[in-house]
């Protein structure tokens, strides 16, 4: 059911984004009669998988369903995109959700009221493109969804509204973002209207964040060398050799947490499903990639205990069922 308002004001809003999270936020606005979505900016369809299937993202699919004009972009927001945007009616707000592109100054200045961004962290903590992963990796017990006014600095604009929530210690990154954007969908329209009507004042952020940049992750960020993983399990690893260094992300986190086993447990959740916590184990058939899907810290010994793993070419299994495939050097 669409929400009604005594106010005759209807806010025109443009949206930039590409993911399911963007779609959720837009649906919250489409269900409110105080908003009209004028156009949506999103990447053009991409080929996915080995079959190279041309695939539309969730934003494009929603725009087509709701008959909202779409502006496609390739690698960046350039002058050709600018001319398309200026052909449309002016807007009161630009809403950016899960976009991943640099917003040029001219686009930030386009909306009459403000360019807004939904950022799923308790800003100024975890500025950057992977706030949920870093929140979980560093073991934060609480987080927030922040609605901010965008400026030239990354996630550093004034905060319009912030809603905090506890972080479940069992969450992976999918759980974190699902909760964050489900919450946002429910409150977004009301908070934008309150801001537009002057009922909320944006509060400036401090220039510096108390946390490292929650940068975009790579596959290598989830790699832990087998000797370090083995040692975390309470075993001497001096005789084990590796030519692959453990990721700097994991090493830096362990320094902050003062615990290598706890860092690996957090990484199981924070990096799941991608890039995953993984290693290369020595087997009688040569090195094989192994993902660590779940683990715990033994409260008595403070050692790492592996629970669920997945060795390449095999199904997910309990560690105790597959650990005999490991090949150790003879003493």
Distance CA 281, CA 313 (A): 13
Structure tokens at 264: 């690996």
Weakly modelled stretches of the chain, pLDDT under 50: 1, 5-7, 331
277 contacts 319 by C-beta, under 8 angstroms = no
pLDDT of residue 5: 46
The predicted-structure confidence for 231-276, as pLDDT tens digits, reads as follows 999 988 766 666 789 999 999 999 999 999 999 999 999 999 999 9
pLDDT of residue 238: 66
Distance CA 56, CA 203 (A): 37
pLDDT of residue 8: 58
pLDDT of residue 33: 96
pLDDT of residue 239: 63
Distance CA 153, CA 207 (A): 9
Distance CA 144, CA 318 (A): 34
How many alpha carbons fall within 13 Å on the CB side of residue 253? 27
Residue 50 has phi, psi (to 5 degrees) of: -65, -30
Show the domains of the chain with their CATH numbers. Answer: 11-196 (3.40.50.170), 219-325 (3.10.25)
pLDDT of residue 241: 64
Distance CA 133, CA 129 (A): 9
pLDDT of residue 3: 53
């Amino acid at each position: 059911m669409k929400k009604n308002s005594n106010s005759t004001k209807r806010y025109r809003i443009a949206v930039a984004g590409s993911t399911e999270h963007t779609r959720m936020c837009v649906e919250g606005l489409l269900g409110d009669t105080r908003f009209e979505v004028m156009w949506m900016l999103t990447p053009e369809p991409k080929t996915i998988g080995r079959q190279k299937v041309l695939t539309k993202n969730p934003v494009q699919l929603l725009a087509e369903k709701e008959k909202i004009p779409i502006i496609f972009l390739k690698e960046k927001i350039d002058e050709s995109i600018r001319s398309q945007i200026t052909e449309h009616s002016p807007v009161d707000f630009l809403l950016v959700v899960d976009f991943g592109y640099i917003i040029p100054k001219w686009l930030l200045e386009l909306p009459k009221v403000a360019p807004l961004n939904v950022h799923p962290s308790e800003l100024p903590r975890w500025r950057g493109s992977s706030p949920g992963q870093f929140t979980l990796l560093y073991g934060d017990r609480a987080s927030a969804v922040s609605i901010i006014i965008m400026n030239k600095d990354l996630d550093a604009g004034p905060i319009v509204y912030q809603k905090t929530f506890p972080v479940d210690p069992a969450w992976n990154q999918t759980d974190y973002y699902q909760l964050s954007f489900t919450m946002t969908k429910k409150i977004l329209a009301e908070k934008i209207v309150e801001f537009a009507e002057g009922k909320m004042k944006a509060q400036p952020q401090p220039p510096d964040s108390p946390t490292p940049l929650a940068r975009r992750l790579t596959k290598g960020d989830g790699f832990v060398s087998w000797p370090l993983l083995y040692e975390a399990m309470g075993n001497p690893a001096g005789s084990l050799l590796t030519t692959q260094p453990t990721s700097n992300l994991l090493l830096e986190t362990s320094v902050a947490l003062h615990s290598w086993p706890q860092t690996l447990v957090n990484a199981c959740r924070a990096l799941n499903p991608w890039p995953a916590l993984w290693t290369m184990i020595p087997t009688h058939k040569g090195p094989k990639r192994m993902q660590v899907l779940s683990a715990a810290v033994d409260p008595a010994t403070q050692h790492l205990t592996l629970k669920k793993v997945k060795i390449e070419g095999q199904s997910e299994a309990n560690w105790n069922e597959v650990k005999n495939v490991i090949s150790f050097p003879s003493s």
